């Protein structure tokens, strides 16, 4: 499904050239549940942003579902983000002025789904993450765990084959974190490919594959048995 | 993403910051209001003057002494060397210019009219009976100056209503004797009340026979000759006829000017059209300033909502979606401001004449259409830069923005 070959991401800081990713190669198969681990500053978020088409790598090739991402135009990337990849952030990134329902409907707006149909499709997804009675609340009226569940519902509403989560439980207490994790592993059982960045070994323990990063390089990639 | 959706998003953004949106709109509102108001005042002046000039009587020809090459305009300055227009010239036109219904000799001056201990400085017009018809000013009580009065240089006077009221009040004026520059005149009539026309009070005038007027002002020349033709199509031929007759009488020199009412009208029309355009242009500048206000607010708004832009892009918004969102927001601000400005402007333009009677206004559809499309254009013009700036943001940089 995903094929990274020699991906690098460099930042110019004055005279210095910092590489956040220095030649990362890996492949991901349909239906995997992967934990991405590594010390702070090792390039985990950078990797996720590249995978999520939010950021363009400075070198290497990225193939997603047999299509070359690096060669795509801005509009094509927007389409991939909209339909193919769900992204869950550590800091939720909901639109504060809109209700949970409107937030979840938002990706459908950009895929051109008409108004009534959007609501019809958003409601079951909110039910799936257990928020049927919070649909008309704004993000500020929700707890952190609830906000993250809205964000997951938003990431799922277009039924993308890939879900990327960058420290989804990082801002949550352990109980909310566990709930989020249950939702993600349920999704994986339904066939969604998931990659989770985490510092938590308990989280990693629930994944079948663990990728370790250090200084922008893959230093470990093992399957749990 | 369709237009209605984008429009809803824009409207939501505008409503979420009512105070700021309102103040931004105010710039456009004032601009549009000023355009509508000033143009309607300019137009009003045009309509008013056109109406007044048309009211002077149809197919009027004004013959003045002296030659000017300028067509139209009001009375040319009479040079000292030119030959004068005389009563006999008018008589000749009357007899021989068969295309003219009237040729009215006119002398003009000011004089002091006295009745008992009351006196008044007023305009004195020496005319013939046809003056009434040519200028659409008619006798109210008694009689106007008659041809016999003209022939005999009779010392008779017809009073404008204002002069009559000032000197006689409610008393009957007919038959009374007034003093006009040390000569005794008998009042034979009082005009109908007419009011102000083109800035002078036609009720504050007195009329005497043209011949008596020449005596009064010690002159043998005329101020002008007013002529009229029955049909508009005849105007050109009538001018030729007048020239033919007068040139022969004036030693084969064209030392007079014939103005037509049509030429005067078009001159005034041009002057007032330019005036209206200048007023509109000045008001347009304030609309432009309003547009800069919109750009300013949109730039602030783009910066404030950088994170929102990042989120929208992360879930699949294309650059054009973001561009449309901010552009429509700017156009909505200016469009709504434009509509409010039009409503207020038209309302004020209709109210003004009720309170300030000397300021006639005329709201024209084209000024409304122009003000509205101009305000929309301002929204597009000043919205494009901020919207483009928003749309070109890099998603990950925008998401990190605090
Ligand atoms: N915009 C940027 N400009 C310059 N350097 C950057 C930028 N973004 C990231 N970096 C650098 O790239 C490296 C990797 O950053 P990244 O955010 O991927 O780390 P991370 O593994 O997600 O860390 P954490 O666990 O703390 O989230 C860091 O050294 C960071 O300083
Ligand atoms: Mg990170």
What was the pLDDT predicted at B1? 59
Radius of gyration, alpha carbons of chain B: 33
Q: Comparing A212-221, B179-188, B256-265, which segment has the lowest mean pLDDT?
A: B256-265
Q: Does B321 touch chain A (CB under 8 A)?
A: yes
* Strand ranges across the sheet with A16-28: A16-28, A2-13, A59-64, A67-68
What was the pLDDT predicted at B16? 85
Query: Is the pLDDT assigned to residue B176 strictly greater than 60?
Result: yes
- Split at pLDDT 50, 70, 90, the class of A52 is very high
In whole angstroms, what is the distance from residue B260 CA to residue B48 CA? 19
What was the pLDDT predicted at B29? 93
In whole angstroms, what is the distance from residue B86 CA to residue B206 CA? 21
In whole angstroms, what is the distance from residue B203 CA to residue B137 CA? 10
For CA atoms A62, A64, A68, A71, the dihedral sign is negative
Which ligand places an atom closest to the C-alpha of A47? Answer: 1
pLDDT in tens, A5-15: 999 999 988 88
Q: Does B304 touch chain A (CB under 8 A)?
A: no
What was the pLDDT predicted at B58? 58
Per the CB < 8 A criterion, the answer to whether B390 and B322 are in contact is yes
Residue of B315, B317, B318, B394 to mutate when probing chain A, most A C-beta within 10 A:
B315
**Which of A49, A55, A78 lies nearest to residue B316, judging by beta carbons?**
A78
Of A16, A67, A7, A69, nearest to A217 by C-alpha is A7
Query: Is the pLDDT assigned to residue B78 strictly greater than 50?
Result: no
- Our CA angle for A166, A167, A172, nearest 5°, is 140
A130 C-alpha to ligand 2 centroid (Å) = 27
User: What single DSSP character describes residue A208?
Assistant: S
* Better pLDDT: B69 or A65: A65
What was the pLDDT predicted at B201? 79
- Split at pLDDT 50, 70, 90, the class of B57 is low
In whole angstroms, what is the distance from residue B100 CA to residue B239 CA? 10
Of A147, A220, A211, A153, nearest to A184 by C-alpha is A153
Establish whether residue A18 lines the binding site of ligand 1, counting it when its CB lies within 6 angstroms of any ligand atom.
Answer: yes
Provide the whole-model pTM: 0.74
**Which of B307, B316, B394 lies nearest to residue A110, judging by beta carbons?**
B316
Contacts A89 to B, Cβ<8 Å: 399
What CA dihedral angle connects B332, B337, B340 and B341, to 10 degrees? Answer: -140
Establish whether residue A8 lines the binding site of ligand 1, counting it when its CB lies within 6 angstroms of any ligand atom.
Answer: no
ipTM reported for the complex, 2 dp: 0.94
* Better pLDDT: B78 or B324: B324
Establish whether residue A48 lines the binding site of ligand 1, counting it when its CB lies within 6 angstroms of any ligand atom.
Answer: no
In whole angstroms, what is the distance from residue A112 CA to residue A105 CA? 11
Query: Is the pLDDT assigned to residue A80 strictly greater than 80?
Result: yes
Q: Which residues pair with A37 in a beta bridge?
A: A212
What was the pLDDT predicted at B213? 92
Residue B117, C-beta contacts closer than 8 angstroms, at least 6 positions apart: none
Establish whether residue A20 lines the binding site of ligand 1, counting it when its CB lies within 6 angstroms of any ligand atom.
Answer: yes
Q: What is the mean pLDDT of residues B41-46?
A: 86
Q: Does A94 touch chain B (CB under 8 A)?
A: yes
Of B104, B165, B109, nearest to B136 by C-alpha is B104
pLDDT in tens, A93-137: 999 989 999 999 999 999 989 888 999 999 999 999 999 999 999
């Amino acid at each position: 499904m995903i094929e990274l070959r020699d991906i690098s991401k460099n930042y110019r800081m004055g005279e210095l050239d910092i590489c956040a990713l220095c030649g990362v190669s890996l492949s991901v198969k349909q239906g995997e549940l992967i934990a991405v681990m590594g010390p702070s500053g090792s390039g985990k978020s950078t990797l996720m942003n590249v995978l999520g088409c939010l950021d363009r790598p400075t070198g290497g090739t990225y193939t997603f579902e047999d299509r070359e991402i690096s060669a795509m135009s801005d509009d094509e990337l927007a389409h991939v983000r909209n339909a193919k990849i769900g992204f869950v952030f550590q800091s939720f990134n909901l639109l504060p002025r809109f209700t949970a329902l409107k937030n979840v409907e938002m990706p459908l707006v950009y895929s051109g789904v008409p108004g009534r149909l959007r609501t019809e499709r958003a409601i079951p997804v909110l039910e799936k993450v257990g928020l049927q009675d919070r649909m008309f609340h704004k993000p500020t009226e929700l707890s952190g765990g609830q906000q993250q569940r809205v964000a997951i519902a938003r990431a799922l509403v277009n039924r993308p084959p890939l879900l990327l989560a960058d420290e989804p439980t990082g801002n949550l207490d352990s109980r909310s974190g566990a709930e989020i994790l249950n939702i993600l592993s349920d999704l994986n059982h339904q066939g969604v490919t998931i990659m989770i960045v985490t510092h938590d070994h308990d989280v990693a323990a629930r994944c079948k594959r663990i990728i370790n990063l250090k200084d922008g390089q893959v230093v470990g990639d093992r399957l749990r048995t | 993403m369709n237009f209605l959706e984008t429009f809803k998003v824009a409207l939501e953004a505008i409503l979420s910051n009512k105070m700021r949106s309102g103040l931004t709109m105010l710039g456009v509102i004032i601009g549009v209001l000023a355009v509508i108001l000033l143009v309607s005042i300019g137009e009003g002046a045009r309509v008013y003057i056109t109406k007044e000039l048309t009211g002077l009587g149809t197919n009027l020809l004004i013959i003045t002494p002296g030659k000017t090459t300028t067509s139209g305009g009001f009375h040319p300055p009479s040079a000292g060397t030119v030959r004068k227009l005389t009563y006999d010239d008018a008589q000749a036109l009357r007899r021989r210019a068969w295309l003219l219904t009237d040729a009215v000799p006119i002398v003009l001056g000011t004089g002091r009219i006295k009745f008992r201990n009351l006196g008044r400085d007023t305009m004195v017009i020496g005319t013939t009976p046809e003056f009434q018809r040519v200028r659409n000013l008619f006798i109210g009580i008694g009689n106007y100056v008659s041809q016999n009065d003209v022939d005999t240089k009779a010392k008779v006077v017809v009073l404008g209503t204002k002069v009559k009221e000032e000197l006689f009040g409610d008393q009957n004026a007919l038959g009374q004797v007034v003093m006009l520059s040390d000569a005794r005149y008998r009042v034979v009539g009082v005009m109908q009340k007419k009011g102000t026309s083109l800035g002078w009070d036609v009720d504050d005038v007195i009329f005497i026979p043209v011949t008596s007027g020449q005596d009064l002002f010690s002159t043998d020349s005329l101020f002008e000759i007013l002529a009229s033709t029955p049909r508009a199509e005849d105007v050109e031929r009538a001018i030729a006829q007048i020239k033919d007759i007068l040139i022969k009488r004036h030693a084969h020199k064209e030392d007079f000017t014939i103005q037509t009412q049509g030429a005067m009208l078009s001159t005034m029309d041009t002057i007032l059209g330019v005036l209206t355009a200048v007023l509109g242009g000045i008001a347009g500048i304030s609309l432009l300033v309003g547009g800069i206000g919109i750009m300013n607010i949109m730039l602030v708004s783009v910066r404030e909502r950088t994170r929102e832009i990042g989120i929208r892009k992360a879930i699949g918004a294309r650059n054009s979606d973001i561009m449309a969102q901010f552009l429509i927001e700017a156009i909505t601000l200016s469009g709504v401001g434009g509509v409010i400005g039009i409503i207020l402007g038209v309302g004020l333009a209709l109210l003004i004449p009720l309170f300030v009677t000397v300021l006639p206004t005329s709201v024209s559809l084209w000024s409304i259409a122009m003000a509205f499309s101009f305000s929309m254009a301002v929204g597009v013009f000043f919205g494009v830069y901020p919207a483009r700036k928003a749309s070109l943001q890099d998603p990950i940089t925008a998401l990190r923005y605090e």
